[in-house]
Structures are given as structure tokens and as C-alpha cells.
Amino acid sequence: MDDSIIMNNNNDDDDDNNTIEHSDEIVSDIISLIHSTTHSSYVICSQLSSKLISYLSQIHMNDNQWHDLEKAVERFDQSIDHPDLRRFRQLIETISICSNDCEERNYTLGRDANTLFESICQLQELLQSHVNLHCTLLSKLIEQQDIQLRLIDVMNLTGMNVGNQIHGILCDIVHLLCQINRTFSVTNVIDHPIVSNCIRIIQTSINSICSTGDNAKPTVIFALRLLTDLLLTNESFPVHVYGQLSNCVFLKSIFDLIENSGEDNELILTAVKFILSFNLRFDYPHENPIMLTLLAVNEQISCRELIERLILLFNRSVDPIECKTTNSIIKFFSDLFGDQATTSDALLYNSDRSLIVEIISRELSDRSITDEATTTYLSLLELILRSQSITSETCTRIDELQTSFRAHLYAENCLKQNRFIINEILRQHCWLSTNDMPFYL
């Protein structure tokens, strides 16, 4: 056989292999794009990509037409007759009718129960997909007065006898609405009875979990998330709602939940985030119902799960609240040590205090001298040392702290507040000072 023929055959084989590899790569990319957007199973993504490729293969497109298609997608997304807008209107109208029907009859929905459950599940799914995609398509619609009246009917259902599961999904729907339209929580939710209903739903669900083992955990999670949303708006609650949130029995039920939820990380973290967000509302520890309740229930609840979770988050430099102005973990620990250390003495072990100091020492070493976050770490350290719970005999990070203090005091660009705090620490705790430290600079 001619050598040139053999070579041509080999080249053809290589071309075929390259084509196959390129095709596999394209299909894999399409499936991955669909999956990353829809979070559907890969089987569904594969079927969808197959239908898409089959459709595209039947039409002949030039480069300009591909560009026109992109414009067509933009027009579709901006259409006032978008299918998701129509679906949203239909669902809240159906739920509103069920809500008013239930309110008029004043008893369980009966024949409307299936309609209501299906509608709120579909609404929850629709809203969740928009939140996942950071889509604001529904935002302007939510601001329309007729829509807001329907949504009030939706929220009213949380005070009706529609069942624990539906109560939870309703709380999640309102949470998702607040995610899509940030003003909705302030304009429509915070003064609505749904806030009081949330508190009641949480207490009822926790009691159900403890007494019968009923799977009401999703309901508690949804209700706590909504309350956390509202707390982080920093808007004022109605007086009676503030009293319900601050009630020792309610807060004790949250602490009980954290301590007795086993390995349910989602439930525990959701409850911890609620506690942290509520704690941000108080400037003075002696007026803080969270600190007062922790002290009051100390002999009944150890709160070890709460403390260990917070120390773990602190060690990882993770603030689950992600508040722009205040680190909620540092704020919580500062409040523990801020009431003449009464609460910290009751809740913390010596090992806890030592670990917190070690974390602070590491953060001071790792952060830039001009980092404004160092001020909050130094302030917390000063509170801990003031409580006399850490001494020269128990502190395991004396050398590291001294090195950090020295670096700050000698630096020309040291923050004024940091310099003041360090000098106060050295003045009150001489065992942390060294001869080469420039005092009162």
C-alpha cells in the first residue's frame, strides 16, 4: 500500500478524534452551564441540552442572527408580560382568595387545603429560583399597591388554622420576598401581625419537637430566618412585638433548641444567627434581654453548644450575620464581658477565655496596623483583661501580645483609638508591658 495513503488515513483518524473530543467538550460545557443555572440533576440537563441542540440543528443561523437572538432574550426578560410575572400574579391571587375564604369561615380550609398547599409550594419555588439567580424581575411588581394588598392576605394566613407546615412555607415566602425587594420588609412586614405569628409559630413548633418528636424543624428554620431579616433592618418593632421577642420564656426556648438539636447544623446555625442579630439591637449589656436570660437560665441550660459554636466561628473569622458595621460575634463576646463579667463568669470556662485571647492575639499579629477591625479585637481584649479572668500565670500568649502592642505603639500610622486602648491595657496590667514599650505616645 502507498505510504501516502496510509498517512492520509492516519490524518483522517486524528481529525475524527479531534472532532469527537471537541464535540464532547462543547456538550459538556452546555450541560454544565444548564446545571449551574438551574441546579437540576445532570440527567435533566443532558436531556435539555439534547433538545436544544436538536432544535438549533434544524435552523440555519448566520453571525448577525445569533446577535439578534441575544437581543430577543433581553426583550423577553424585560417584557411586562413575562410568564413568571403572570404566574406570580395568578398564585398570589389564588392564595389571597383562600385566605379571605378561610377568614370568613373561621375554620380549617377543608376543600381549599389542597389548592392552598399547591399554590404556596409553587410560589415558594418560583421565588426561590429568582433569589438563587439574583433576579430582580419581580421587585417592581412587589411595589404595586394591588400586589401588596394580595401579599397582606398571604401573610394573614400565618395567623389562621392552616397547619404548621403551611405556616413555615409562608414564613419562607415572606423571607424570599424580602430578599427580592429589600424595602418590602420595612414597608409591609415589620408592622404586620406576621411578626407576632412567627414568634408563636416558633414556640409551638419547638414544643412539638420536644414533646412528640414532630418534624417541625423546617418551620422553625423558616420563621427564624424571617425574624432575622427583620431584625437586621434596624427598624423599630411595635412595642408588643419587642416585648414578645425579649420575653425570657421565648429566648429560653431558642437556647434550648440550640443545645438539644443534636447534629442538625442548619437548625442550630439559624438559631445562632437569630440570637446574634437580636443582640445587635442592644447597646448596654445590663439592659440586654439575651444576656439577662442567659444569666437567669444558667442553672437550667449549660449553653455549651452556643458558646462553642461562637468560639468556632470567631476562630475562623466568620461572622454569619455579615453586618457591614459591626462584627456580631465580637459584639456578643463584648456583651458577655461587659456587665462586670457576671455573665461571662457564669457561662465561660477558663479554657474558653484563654482560647478567645489566643484568637485575638493571632488576629492582631495577622492584620495590618491600619486595619480598622483591630480596634474591635483590642476592645474585646481590654474587657476580658479587665475581668481579671486572665492573668500572667494563665495567659499563654504574653510574648505575641507584647510583640503586637510594640508594633502598634512604634508605628507612625497606628490608629489613635488603638494606641489609646493599648496604653490603657498596659497601664492596668503591668505584666504585659516591657521596658522598651513607648507608653502614652
Could you give the 3-state DSSP secondary structure of residue 144? coil
Which residues are within 8 A (CB) of 342 and not within 5 positions of it... i.e. 6 or more apart?
295
Q: What is the pLDDT of residue 107?
A: 43
Q: What is the pLDDT of residue 226?
A: 97
Report the length, in residues, of the chain: 441
Q: Is 330 left (phi over 0), alpha (psi -120 to 50) or beta?
A: alpha
- Check if the beta carbon of residue 369 is closer than 8 Å to that of residue 408: yes
Alpha-carbon distance of 219 to 221, in angstroms, equals 5
Smallest CA-to-CA distance from 275 within 300, 245, 299 is with 245
Q: What is the pLDDT of residue 4?
A: 56
Could you give the 3-state DSSP secondary structure of residue 20? helix
Could you give the 3-state DSSP secondary structure of residue 50? helix
Mean pLDDT by 10 residues, the chain (441 residues): 55 63 79 78 79 77 68 63 90 91 55 82 95 89 95 94 92 96 94 95 84 78 96 93 95 93 90 96 92 90 92 95 89 88 82 93 94 94 86 85 91 91 90 73 45
Distances (CA, A) of 324 to 22, 139, 178, 271, 331: 46, 23, 18, 20, 13
Rg, Å, the chain Cα set: 29
- Residue 252: is it exposed, middle or buried by C-beta count within 10 angstroms (0-12/13-18/19+)? middle
- H-type helices in 106-213, by residue range? 113-132, 139-142, 145-156, 164-180, 184, 194-212
- Check if the beta carbon of residue 290 is closer than 8 Å to that of residue 275: yes
Q: What is the pLDDT of residue 392?
A: 80
Q: What is the pLDDT of residue 25?
A: 81
Tally the C-alpha atoms within 13 A of residue 263's C-alpha that lie toward its C-beta. 0
Where do the domains of the chain lie? 20-78, 82-226
Q: What is the pLDDT of residue 364?
A: 94
Q: What is the pLDDT of residue 404?
A: 92
- Residue 249: is it exposed, middle or buried by C-beta count within 10 angstroms (0-12/13-18/19+)? exposed
pLDDT digits (tens, 9 = 90+) for 55-83: 777 777 776 766 666 666 666 556 667 88
Q: Is 34 left (phi over 0), alpha (psi -120 to 50) or beta?
A: alpha
